[in-house]
Structure 1
Amino acid sequence: MSEPIKIDIWSDIACPWCYIGKRKFERGAAEFAQLGDGREVEVEYHSFELAPDTPVDFDGTEIDFLVKHKGMPADQVQQMLDRVTGIASDAGLEYDFGILQHTNTVKAHELLHLAKAEGKQLEMTERLLRAYFTEGRHVGRIEDLADLAVEVGLDRSAVVSALESGQYTQAVREDQATAQGYGIQGVPFFVIDGAYGVSGAQEAAAFTQVLEQVWTERASTEPVQA
């Protein structure tokens, strides 16, 4: 019972529901941990691109992108963004789609793999999501990503070198291939203990429940100590 429950999360930096889902999962995991007896989770993020054909420097607003990408009228897109902003606010996040700089996220995903190698993936994930959705920072250009990486303790020159060389591109593609193998078509998607899949930004209680179920199942299969 000493092993943490492994949580593999497929997400995209440009996915508003992923940041909301992250907050709800964190609350659910915290409630699970408060039940005691060494209940812990280990989290790893994996790459998923919602719109891989997006240019690094998209010329337009988030509304412009969604009108083109989803084929929806602008007023309907605005209503959708207003709704998401409200849900994000309830989760403690201050989204600002007016200043958001839509971009291609492949380099951000490469940075997350570098950060994982340095033991900083969780910090880097949070920093990128906050930068994108609440600060209007650019998360597609190498120099901008390097600025954010330094803030979580990564070496700037190492980040620039890795991103320019594509050192972690294959790792991104492998994550995407695994997602395809799982049949994941949207994010966030949580794979819990390699056995249970939870799709979308579920409420905290849903995460607590499935974590407790996994914990209970583990306890029931542990050998009895003589």
Structure 2
Amino acid sequence: MSVHLRVWSDYVCPFCLLAKKPIGEAVAGLDVEVEWMPFELRAEPSPTLRPEGDYLQSVWRRAVYPMARRMGVAIHLPDVSPQPYTRLAFEGYQYAREHGLGGAYNDRLLRAFFQEGLDIGDVEVLTGLAAELGLPAADYRGALTTGAYGEAHRAALAEAGAHEITVVPTILINGRHRVEGVPDTAALRRAIEDALPWPLTGAACGTDGC
């Protein structure tokens, strides 16, 4: 029986890319299932942010870039303006998840936006990224253009609402222990170990020998 980590994220949140490193380090060597969950920070028709605006410039200067330097993670504020909506990207995530590539897709989308500056709101860009992962391009594109995974995405958003998710990243450990924001590796590791169904012990011998 493994620990279940659910991580709510959005592809236009830089802290979600930064969170991947401590999460990966915290679960290393443990029986942990990591499931990435969708959350739209700004859903249509609400306006998205512009990278040239004061808000994003300030947040990146004060928080994102200093944290990224400390962590050794390459990241830059994309020039795409205004920032893309992520509904289509998340519908594509549902498609990738159904095909066993949800985790790889999630990682590729975050890197595409924050390391390559690609417009992940564009169907053709998304199709190219999906094809890189080995997903059938024509079928993937068709799924997005027809809205075939719209209901699955809406159900995922409803689940986020049920868990009162308001910020990303948000991590739930076995549905109980909650961590909001980029986690501290050691603290997250301790929380995961506390949730394991058996104690972690080092090498030892018992009274009946080794």
TM-score in terms of structure 1 length: 0.80
Cα distance in structure 2, aligned partners of 1:186 and 1:43: 18
Greater displacement, 117-126 / 191-200: 191-200
CA 1:63–1:172: 2 relative to 1, 3 Å? same
SS of 1:219's equivalent in the other structure is coil
Cα distance in structure 1, aligned partners of 2:76 and 2:45: 20
Q: Deviations over 1:40-76 (max 9, x none)?
A: 11111111000113689x7x84133xxxxxxxxx2x6
> Are 1:180 and 2:157 an aligned pair?
no
Counterpart in 1 of 2:17? 19
**What stretches of structure 1 of length at least 5 have no aligned partner?**
34-38, 65-73, 221-226
CA 1:62–1:42: 2 relative to 1, 3 Å? same
- The alpha carbon displacement at 1:78 in A equals 2.3
Cα distance in structure 2, aligned partners of 1:118 and 1:104: 23
SS of 2:175's equivalent in the other structure is coil
> Are 1:62 and 2:47 an aligned pair?
no
Counterpart in 1 of 2:98? 117
**Residue correspondence of structure 1 range 1-226 to structure 2 within 5 A:** 3-30=1-28, 33=29, 39-53=30-44, 61-64=50-53, 74=54, 77-82=56-61, 83-100=63-80, 102-215=83-196, 218-219=197-198
Counterpart in 2 of 1:71? none
Q: Deviations over 1:85-106 (max 9, x none)?
A: 2212322322221534510100
Q: Deviations over 1:73-130 (max 9, x none)?
A: x2x6423212312212322322221534510100110111111101101111110000
Greater displacement, 45-54 / 202-211: 45-54
Q: Is the 8 A contact 2:78 2:114 kept in 1?
A: no
SS of 2:27's equivalent in the other structure is helix
- The alpha carbon displacement at 1:148 in A equals 0.4
**What stretches of structure 2 of length at least 5 have no aligned partner?**
200-210
> Among the aligned pairs, what percent are the same residue?
29
Cα distance in structure 2, aligned partners of 1:190 and 1:110: 21
Cα distance in structure 1, aligned partners of 2:86 and 2:32: 27
Q: Is the 8 A contact 1:28 1:208 kept in 2?
A: yes
Q: Deviations over 1:152-186 (max 9, x none)?
A: 11110111011011111111111111111111111
Cα distance in structure 1, aligned partners of 2:90 and 2:17: 15
TM-score in terms of structure 2 length: 0.86
Q: How many residues align?
A: 197
Query: What amino acid is aligned across from residue 147 of structure 2 in structure 1?
Result: G
Cα distance in structure 2, aligned partners of 1:123 and 1:178: 22
Cα distance in structure 2, aligned partners of 1:91 and 1:99: 23
Q: Is the 8 A contact 1:54 1:104 kept in 2?
A: no
